[in-house]
């Protein structure tokens, strides 16, 4: 399989943009979108037959295929709209079972929306929400595991962390951290928004209590396709945020039906997985990661940036310090993204973390190293203009 620019025509991606931000929202291939649209037409051709006769067998088939791909039992996996929905579902469950003054610990690299959900919980409950700051740059997995070990105490009852962080693009050592949680009776909650399709994922080997991820990013599913994994011992206790017809009919049935909705994105995971496997499966992951590492080396060498993490902690996205002075606020994040898009026709992500500005780029099978050479040239011109 030959990867690179020749594959761009498999997506509806605008031809005039060097797209280096697959990580934010993903891209859905034409074939998967066509499959999804065909499902929508089928549903509307006879909605009662579809929802009363066909829906549950189809959703079970889709769940079985996704569960097999990510190394989980089918009974453990349900579909949700996005990782944030899953995070709030778990938070809602924890708020009902944790004793007053129990501590929920989260690593400061977690996604902003999940951070906000925890902040909201802290304001409206008697639970203690505590941040574990881990500096970036970082040296090793072992450094993170030791910091977690030092932070947990007898009152720590739950720990939230990313598998692959958004702002810093680090792959966290979740196996070692989940092991720590299991040894100390702590709920482990893993936000794997970026992991499915980027990493070799086997959730059964990791043994978390809760794990959720998006299929619309690196697995190429339509927007609105995500999943929640719940360990067996909690499945009878957790419920979707929307209580509907199948309340107390079991974990899978409750989440499968939260009222009338458009399920085509969930059901299209079957076609997305077919696309992923047909176009290389593991070879996709290897190409994306190798290209990302090559790009990071190139950018760091040309712009004289020190790598903030070892190669082992990088997947298909990488974050680097912004090499020029700038204003540190959300408006500047927006302006920088817009500036590079309008002036250089390059799409990358900007964010600030721990009072520093970073830029993040992605690598996928429609990218080539020349895309990152263009990015270096754009940064050089930007620096000369300031």
DSSP 183: H
State the pLDDT at residue 42.
97
Q: Is the pLDDT of residue 134 over 90?
A: yes
Per residue in 245-288, pLDDT (tens digit) is: 999 999 999 999 999 999 999 999 999 999 999 999 999 999 99
Contacts of 18 (CB under 8 A, 6+ apart): 344, 345, 346, 347, 371, 374, 375
State the pLDDT at residue 326.
82
Contacts of 133 (CB under 8 A, 6+ apart): 108, 354
Q: pLDDT confidence of 325, banded at 50, 70, 90?
A: confident
State the pLDDT at residue 126.
96
Q: pLDDT confidence of 386, banded at 50, 70, 90?
A: confident
Give 194 or 326, the one with higher predicted confidence.
194
Q: Are 146 and 196 in contact (CB under 8 A)?
A: no
Per residue in 278-295, pLDDT (tens digit) is: 999 999 999 999 999 999
Q: pLDDT confidence of 298, banded at 50, 70, 90?
A: very high
Q: Is the pLDDT of residue 186 over 90?
A: yes
Q: Are 208 and 159 in contact (CB under 8 A)?
A: no
State the pLDDT at residue 328.
72
As a whole number of Å, the end-to-end CA separation of the chain is 43
Q: pLDDT confidence of 302, banded at 50, 70, 90?
A: very high
Q: Are 180 and 147 in contact (CB under 8 A)?
A: no
Per residue in 5-42, pLDDT (tens digit) is: 999 999 999 999 999 999 999 999 999 999 999 999 99
115: buried, middle or exposed (CB in 10 Å: 19+, 13-18, 0-12)? Answer: middle
Domains, the chain: 5-20+280-385 (3.90.1150.10), 32-275 (3.40.640.10)
Q: pLDDT confidence of 168, banded at 50, 70, 90?
A: very high
Q: What is the pLDDT averaged over residues 342-352?
A: 96
State the pLDDT at residue 385.
86
Candidates 344, 328, 352, 336; CA nearest to 378 is: 344
């Amino acid at each position: 399989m030959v990867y690179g620019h020749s594959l761009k025509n498999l997506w509806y991606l605008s031809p005039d943009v060097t797209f280096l931000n697959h990580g934010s929202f993903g891209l859905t291939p034409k074939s998967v979108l066509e499959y999804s649209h065909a499902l929508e037409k089928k549903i509307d051709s006879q909605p009662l037959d579809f929802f009363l006769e066909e829906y549950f067998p189809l959703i079970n088939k889709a769940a079985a295929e996704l569960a097999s791909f990510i190394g989980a039992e089918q009974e453990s996996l349900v579909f949700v709209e996005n990782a944030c929905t899953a995070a709030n579902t778990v938070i809602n469950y924890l708020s009902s079972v944790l004793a007053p003054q129990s501590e929920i610990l989260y690593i400061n690299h977690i996604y902003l929306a999940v951070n906000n959900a925890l902040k909201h919980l802290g304001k409206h409950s008697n639970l203690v929400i505590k941040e574990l700051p881990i500096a970036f740059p970082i040296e090793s997995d072992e450094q993170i595991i030791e910091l977690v070990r030092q932070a947990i105490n007898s009152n720590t009852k739950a720990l939230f962390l990313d598998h692959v962080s958004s702002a810093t693009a680090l792959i966290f050592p979740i196996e070692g951290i989940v092991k720590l949680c299991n040894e100390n009776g702590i709920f482990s909650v893993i936000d794997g928004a970026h992991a499915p399709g980027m990493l070799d994922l086997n959730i059964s080997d990791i043994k978390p209590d809760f794990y959720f991820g998006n299929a619309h990013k690196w697995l190429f599913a339509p927007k609105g396709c995500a999943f929640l994994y719940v360990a067996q011992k909690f499945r009878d206790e957790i419920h979707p945020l929307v209580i509907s017809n199948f309340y107390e009919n079991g974990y899978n049935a409750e989440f499968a039906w939260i009222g009338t909705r458009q399920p085509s994105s969930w059901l299209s995971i079957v076609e997305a997985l077919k696309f992923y496997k047909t176009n290389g499966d593991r070879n996709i992951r290897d190409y994306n990661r190798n290209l990302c590492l090559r790009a990071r080396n190139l950018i760091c060498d040309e712009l004289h940036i020190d790598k903030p993490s070892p190669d082992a902690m990088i997947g298909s996205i990488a974050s680097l310090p912004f090499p020029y002075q700038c204003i540190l606020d959300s408006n500047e994040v927006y302006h920088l993204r817009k500036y590079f898009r309008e002036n250089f026709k390059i799409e990358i992500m900007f964010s600030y973390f721990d009072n520093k500005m970073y830029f993040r780029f992605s690598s996928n099978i429609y990218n080539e190293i020349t895309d990152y050479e263009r990015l270096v040239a754009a940064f050089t011109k930007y620096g000369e203009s300031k």
